[in-house]
Structure 1
Amino acid sequence: MHSLLRELSVVGMSTVTLGGITFGYDDLGSGDRVLVLVHGHPFDRTMWRPQVEHFAERGFRVIAADLRGYGETTVVPGKTLLSTFAKDIATLLDHRGVDRFALGGLSMGGQIVMECFRQFPERITGLLLADTTAEAETPDGRRNRAEMAARLLREGMRGYSEEVLWKMVADDKDAADHVLRMMLAAPPEGAAAALLGRAERPDYLDLLGEVEVPALVVVGTEDEYTPISDARLMHERLQDSTLVVVEGAAHMPNLERTEEFNRALHTFLDRIADRAER
């Protein structure tokens, strides 16, 4: 086993109970350059393992937590709003003694990142928005999410997971296997609560116009959930952003095209550092 993976399995992986919620998280690496990564639905923090490993080896402190209702973090049935996820992230980072950080998320995680910026912009040095959208949910979308939440509670995760896998990953078998494992492991109650809360998300487009820190927008060319047009719209609204389109990737470019994704993210993090030194 790779030495860092061994270290991560022994040292970096932790749980802590804060405010009645037990959080599972990875906190690896050290230094002042902190990167916080937020997973999407219906995944867990292991979706960021290639990034945690890569950047912790290169002088960054990287934190990735399981969101409420996923992975090792407490499941709270009902409805979990994006604002609740954002408060959870702030609570965990306070516990870890982290004040300032670059913040990234994919899909639902990207929407949580935007909500975090709405709640505590002064803590964030840069934003990574991967395969996500800033617009509020449509009436049809709200109805579809409510129906899917009811289905997950009724049937569990397998049928849904097998149906949507091809939309998550284009042509990488290892990535597809990882994504399927995460989806099958997701607690239906947690996934349903997130769906219902996400259906009520606000429109973040105006908020993006207020973002003064650097931003990186990433999208896969084959992403049907959040197409390139959504990424371009966010890129246009942001004051200081870079748009990276990952050829051949679907909804999970960090797993499907890891080297390209990591290279773009590293360039972006260096840009944040250069700006801070001015």
Structure 2
Amino acid sequence: MGTVFRTEITVGYEDEGSGEPLLLVHGHPFNRSMWRPQIAHLGQAGWRVIAPDLRGYGESTVVPGTTPLETFARDLLALLDHLGIERCVLGGLSMGGQIVMECWRHFPERIRAVVLADTFAAAETAEGRAARHAMAERLVREGMTGYAREVLAKMVAPHHLAARPEVAAHVMEMMTSTAPEGAAAALRGRAQRPDYTAQLSQMPVPALVVVGTEDTYTPVSDAREIHDRMPDARLVLIERAAHLPNLERPDEFNAALEEFLRSLPADAAADTPGTPGGPA
């Protein structure tokens, strides 16, 4: 059952399980339902899993125009404050991974560890900026359906389209139900994103870097670069998965994520008396 949080916008989110918090950030053009396999598994494995809809997606408020990654990061910080969570493991896929890196720029003290799935750290190229702006205009003009049909076979590996039609249907439903104005605003914001590459070496927290071996949007080489630059990272390749390994091969993804979470040292902040989310 979803919950809503109202500040300058309304944010829909899931908050399942109990224990130490794990906040998962979806990619574009999806919504929080992309994390269903992880919410179900980890919520029963001793973790409190929080998965919000980003502004412009799912049940959250659509704000036309441009949504910089910093705005998404500030929305997540407001949600953590609302929930009384001082520190969390923060994970994201694709655009969600870039939002995780943006969160580190602004409030690293709130982040215990990071999960970066099928994402990349470099700034957008001039060609990429032009393409994102052109796509934003197309989505507003034409809607999401044509775009969704074009990219489905890159989001989900072609062999899974036939073998796992329920996954393909879920991904298609997420994309086509997204408001074009919200998706366009995010595309314009991503075109402006900074280069996070140098920042990676300054992120001393434990990191899990995950990528599908058949991902053409963010290939294995991008994941290796992130892994090699971070001081305390482990790299996991999900075989026979494309851009959404958490949905295409959820058992393998969940196993890697749970192993990483179980390896984390105890969070001293969570045990500090009077700390939000800790013992009173």
TM-score (norm 1): 0.93
Q: Which amino acid aligns with 2:5?
A: V
2:54 is aligned, of 67, 71, 76, to 67
Q: Which amino acid aligns with 1:151?
A: R
Q: In the TM superposition, what whole-angstrom CA distance separates every residue of 1:102-152 from its partner, at most 9, and x where no partner exists? A: 000000000000000111111111110000000000111000000000000
Higher mean displacement: 104-113 or 268-277: 268-277
3-state DSSP of counterpart to 2:264? helix
Q: Which residue of 2 aligns with 1:26?
A: 14
For residues 167 and 78 of structure 1, the distance between their equivalents in structure 2, rounded to whole angstroms, comes to 27
TM-superposed CA distance for 1:29, in Å, is 1.2
Q: Which amino acid aligns with 1:127?
A: V
**2:222 corresponds to 1:235:** no
1:51 is aligned, of 30, 38, 60, to 38
For residues 122 and 166 of structure 2, the distance between their equivalents in structure 1, rounded to whole angstroms, comes to 32
Q: How does 1:60-99 map to 2 (within 5 A)?
A: 60-99=47-86
- Structure 2 segments unaligned to the other structure (5+ residues): 270-280
3-state DSSP of counterpart to 2:265? helix
Q: Which amino acid aligns with 2:72?
A: F
Q: Which amino acid aligns with 2:117?
A: A
**2:148 corresponds to 1:161:** yes
- Structure 1 segments unaligned to the other structure (5+ residues): 1-8
**2:253 corresponds to 1:261:** yes
TM-superposed CA distance for 1:274, in Å, is 5.6
TM-superposed CA distance for 1:173, in Å, is 2.0
The alignment's C-alpha RMSD in Å is: 1.2
3-state DSSP of counterpart to 1:273? coil
Q: Which residue of 1 aligns with 2:273?
A: none
Question: Percent identical across equivalent pairs?
Answer: 61
Q: Which residue of 2 aligns with 1:173?
A: 165
For residues 103 and 267 of structure 2, the distance between their equivalents in structure 1, rounded to whole angstroms, comes to 21
**2:8 corresponds to 1:16:** no
Q: Which amino acid aligns with 1:191?
A: A
For residues 208 and 229 of structure 1, the distance between their equivalents in structure 2, rounded to whole angstroms, comes to 16
Q: In the TM superposition, what whole-angstrom CA distance separates every residue of 1:198-235 from its partner, at most 9, and x where no partner exists? A: 01100001111001110000001110000000000000
2:215 is aligned, of 206, 214, 223, to 223
Where do 4+ consecutive residues of structure 1 move more than 6 Å? none
TM-superposed CA distance for 1:273, in Å, is 3.2
TM-superposed CA distance for 1:276, in Å, is 6.3
Q: Which residue of 2 aligns with 1:124?
A: 111
TM-superposed CA distance for 1:275, in Å, is 8.0
TM-score (norm 2): 0.92
For residues 25 and 67 of structure 1, the distance between their equivalents in structure 2, rounded to whole angstroms, comes to 9
Q: Which amino acid aligns with 1:53?
A: A
**2:243 corresponds to 1:251:** yes
For residues 220 and 230 of structure 2, the distance between their equivalents in structure 1, rounded to whole angstroms, comes to 15
For residues 266 and 128 of structure 1, the distance between their equivalents in structure 2, rounded to whole angstroms, comes to 11
Q: How does 1:141-220 map to 2 (within 5 A)?
A: 141-170=128-157, 171=160, 172-220=164-212
Q: Which residue of 2 aligns with 1:6?
A: none
For residues 173 and 264 of structure 1, the distance between their equivalents in structure 2, rounded to whole angstroms, comes to 24
For residues 68 and 139 of structure 2, the distance between their equivalents in structure 1, rounded to whole angstroms, comes to 18
For residues 167 and 51 of structure 1, the distance between their equivalents in structure 2, rounded to whole angstroms, comes to 21
